[in-house]
Amino acid sequence: MKKSVILTGLRANNDLHLGNYLGALLPMVELQKKYAGKYQINLFVPDLHSFTTPIDHSKLYDQSLNNLKLFVASGLDLADPDTYIYRQSFVPAHSEMTVILNCFTHFGELGRMIQFKDKSSNKENVSAGLFDYPVLMAADILLYGAKYVPVGQDQTQHVELARDIGIRMNNKFGKDLLQPPEAEKDQITFAGQNNRLRVRDLSNPDKKMSKTNDSDKGVIFLTDDPDTAAKKVLGATTDSVGVINYDYDKQPGISNLLDILSALTNKTTDEICKIYVGQKQYKDLKEATSEAIKKFLTEFQTKLNEVDEKAVLGKLSASEEVMNKVANATLLKVQKAVGLRQA
């Protein structure tokens, strides 16, 4: 590949939500616009990652396609020749590369992964797939020599592990075997992650909005009925302080609403705060945010319904053909290096 690669993806095991839209979908669309012609963008559906935790397997295939439609509805340009969309499982090299990389990854490294600790805590049965998730992610990255991997804060440790594994393989088999991703500091600077909005759960604002939450009460899904979503906002957990302040330590629920309203009305947080900070009732802020949510979902779902499925499938097929060639070439280099193929 001639251009440096930006790689990203979102699990397709559930409907995506407002936090995904503001924290991942929109930033990826903005990156595409900003770096058009300068970088290659690999936007993939990590469908193999999707069942490292329990899911409804009967819905996975359709959810994978819908995941891509959501990107298009968010503004992704399918006509961009440097953008590739593909499903992880449709490129078999991901699986074989993972098996090989497992043998050069330390058990202790995987045991220290924060995501594994969080998702496995208080669980009676935890899959080996969840434990091994970061190695599959390393394969996703290293197969394409991805330079930048925009991820949420909870995934930065995995990107660093991919870098460590790549460097380890290069030290053992030759410095040109794999191209590791950039270091964490450079990743954050490139993707502007310090400024990325992290939407909180409406019912429990101490936690981020997550599609794996047991209750949907505090999650605004992109497929929610707009009126239903507006009611979720009106019922959002706030506090007993009695005055609006922008303070995530003392008033996370109120601060979350201020940020959501800012993002959906294209106003800065400072502009929103000038309107609401100091008010002694929360009603006006909740109503304004609920109306903004309702308007956003109505417009977004209209765009989603207008997405040309044939165009998505055509781009998907063409991209998967190209990605198989690229991934297989990298896999062959690694197979030769470890002695599975004749050098």
Residue 310 designated active-site: no
Residue 251 token pair? 């008033």
In the numeric block, the tokens 């903004």 are attached to 292
Q: Write down the catalytic residue from 59, 119, 231, 267.
A: 119
Of 144, 166, 130, 153, residue with least CA distance to 42: 144
Q: HEC profile for 99-157? A: HHHHCCCCHHHHHCCHHHHHHHCCCCCCCHHHHHHHHHHHHHHHCCCEEECCCCHHHHH
Residue 300 token pair? 């977004």
Using the CB atoms, write b or e for 206-219: b if 16+ within 10 Å. eebbbbebeebebb
- Quick check: helix, strand or coil at residue 268? coil
Q: Which amino acid is at 143?
A: L
Distance CA 293, CA 285 (A): 12
Distance CA 156, CA 107 (A): 19
Torsion, Cα of 289, 290, 294, 300 (10° steps): 40
Q: Write down the catalytic residue from 208, 217, 303, 336.
A: 208
What is the number of helices (H) and of strands (E) in the chain? 14, 4
Residue 294 designated active-site: no
Residue 110 token pair? 């995987």
Handedness of CA 326, 330, 335, 336 (dihedral sign): positive
Residue 211 designated active-site: yes
Structural contact between residues 154 and 115, judged by C-beta atoms closer than 8 angstroms = yes
Structural contact between residues 76 and 43, judged by C-beta atoms closer than 8 angstroms = yes
Q: Write down the catalytic residue from 59, 69, 211, 303.
A: 211
Which residues participate in catalysis according to the annotation? 119, 208, 211
